Amino acid sequence: MTVLTTTKAGAKTARPESDRAESYGAGWDAVPSGREEAASFDWASAVGALRYAFQPIVQLRSGRCHGYEALLRGFERTGFANAGELLDAAEAAGLLATVETALHAKAVAAYRALSGWNEAKLFLNLDARLVGRPDAPWLARDPAASRNSGIVLELSESRPVPSGVAVDAAVDRFRQSGAGIAIDDFGVGHSGLRTLYEARPDYVKIDRFFIAGIDADARKRALVAALAGHAHALGIQIVAEGVETATEFYTCRDLGCDFAQGFLIARPRVDLTALPNRYPVVEDLNRKDRRQPSDSHRRLSEVIERLPPLRVDSRKTELLDYFRRDGSAAIAPIIDEHDRPLGLIRERDLKRFVYSRFGGELLRNRGLGNGLDDLVIRSPVCDISTPLDRVIEAFSTEFGGRRHRHRRGRGLCRRAVERCAAAAGA
């Protein structure tokens, strides 16, 4: 089992300039206390007294660690009871963005001190009051900022986004830095469905309220199943928060949740000297599950076409070679640097380059961008265990608003199964 270990003190690791936290607006300096409103409190010392614990977010099928949520610890040394109190006081002092930036920088420093840190993502809570503000952390200042930052910003629903803020435009500014977006505590906070629509997140973290006892609560199961289905239709992945029992684990997995976080898997750890990248408890739970797969699961397994994926940072010439190598392949599944499905590239979309006079040269011209990002068609993501009727529903929803929505029902189902290969192949 591979572990992520902390780099020894004094060791130097070379990182690209664009991959440093400063590229995203997270400064490494201590919090200044010079503002008049905050002169009576030593904010730098308060931030310095805090430390971070990491709790893993794990894939439900494989036990592989997808990322860590950074959770603040040590409030007994600050005079505040919790993070909410500290951030409320910082907002009252006019220093919310400054304090949040310093806290994020501290978490990123701990994350990037791990050997193999780029194998997992770092989930950081971002106070929703900072969305749309020009002084918020993680706003891109370098147009060449690396997309491989591995940072995911969690927008908590415990506080509302300021009124009048165009959430979609504000969130896009965070995306330009290379950061992903998650909605935290979904279902118990402010404007859940509206935020889901406007923020277009990469992840939705379902609040513990809906996970606790879900195996014995039909209403919770119905809500989580519906949310997972609609989220996957939009290309969003689901994290079940607060999983504490084996029956909750199995239920969340079978309802279509992609990841789990909770005491059943691991408690938050302050000691970051050796973090595993796989969690045997999840592997054991899946191995011990002797329940027979559903008929719909068997049918999907029988018809699915498994295609090798391409990384989004692959060269365009590799894409041309991909289709030449397998003349029957009509699509290429595309994954990100963490093996997360992003979408598809269709061979037919390359024909305008291949058959045009200078098309081949354009694809090979590095000055026009050498990655595949601009060719990817975003599509729903479905787990291999997703019931076939939900797969069809997810892709029917995607195609429903298109001009040819009624054309060839069989073709739609076939495309749905083909696109599922993007997730299965990754």
| pLDDT, tens digit, 9 for 90 and up, residues 182-194 | 999 898 766 578 8
CB 59 within 8 A of CB 281: no
* Global confidence as pTM: 0.74
Return the pLDDT at 409.
37
Cα–Cα distances in angstroms (integers) from residue 274 to residues 50, 116, 152, 178, 269, in the given order? 21, 11, 22, 27, 10
Contact assessment for residue 118 and residue 161, using Cβ atoms and an 8 Å cutoff: no
Name the residue among 162, 209, 166 with its Cα closest to residue 184.
Answer: 209
Q: What's the pLDDT at 299?
A: 64
| Cβ-contact 25, 141 below 8 angstroms | yes
pLDDT tens over the chain, length 426 residues = 445 444 433 344 444 433 444 443 444 344 454 455 444 788 999 999 999 999 999 999 889 999 999 999 999 999 899 999 999 999 999 999 999 999 999 999 999 988 778 889 999 999 999 999 999 999 865 544 554 468 999 998 777 888 888 889 999 889 888 899 999 989 876 657 888 888 889 999 999 999 999 999 999 999 999 898 888 878 889 999 999 999 999 999 989 899 999 999 999 999 988 888 899 999 999 988 866 666 656 666 677 778 889 888 888 778 878 887 766 678 889 888 767 788 888 888 776 666 555 555 556 555 555 668 778 887 777 766 666 666 776 666 555 544 443 343 334 334 444 444 444 444
Model pLDDT, residue 101: 94
pLDDT at 216: 95
Q: Report the pLDDT value the prediction gives residue 322, as an integer from 0 to 100.
A: 85
Q: What is the DSSP string of 215-260?
A: GG-HHHHHHHHHHHHHHHHTT-EEEEE---SHHHHHHHHHTT--EE
CA dist., res. 210 & res. 377, Å (int)? 32
Going by C-alpha positions, the residue among 323, 249, 321 that lies closest to residue 286 is 249
Query: What's the whole-number average pLDDT of the chain?
Result: 77
pLDDT of residue 415: 43
The answer to whether residues 69 and 55 touch, using CB atoms and an 8 Å cutoff, is yes
Asked if 117 and 68 touch (Cβ cutoff 8 Å), the reply is no
What pLDDT is stored for residue 234 in this prediction?
A: 81
For residue 287, what are its two tokens?
Answer: 């191995």
What's the rounded Cα separation, in Å, for the pair 152 and 136? 15
pLDDT at 357: 54
Taking CA atoms, 398 is separated from 159, 314, 344, 415, in Å, by 31, 27, 14, 11
Cα end-to-end distance, the chain, whole Å: 20
Alpha helices in 120-217 (DSSP H): 167-175, 192-199, 208-211
The DSSP code sequence of 370-419 is: -SSGGG-EE-----TTS-HHHHHHHHHHHHHTSTTTTS-HHHHHHHHHHH
Q: What is the pLDDT of residue 414?
A: 43
Closest CA to 71 of 103, 48, 49, 102: 103
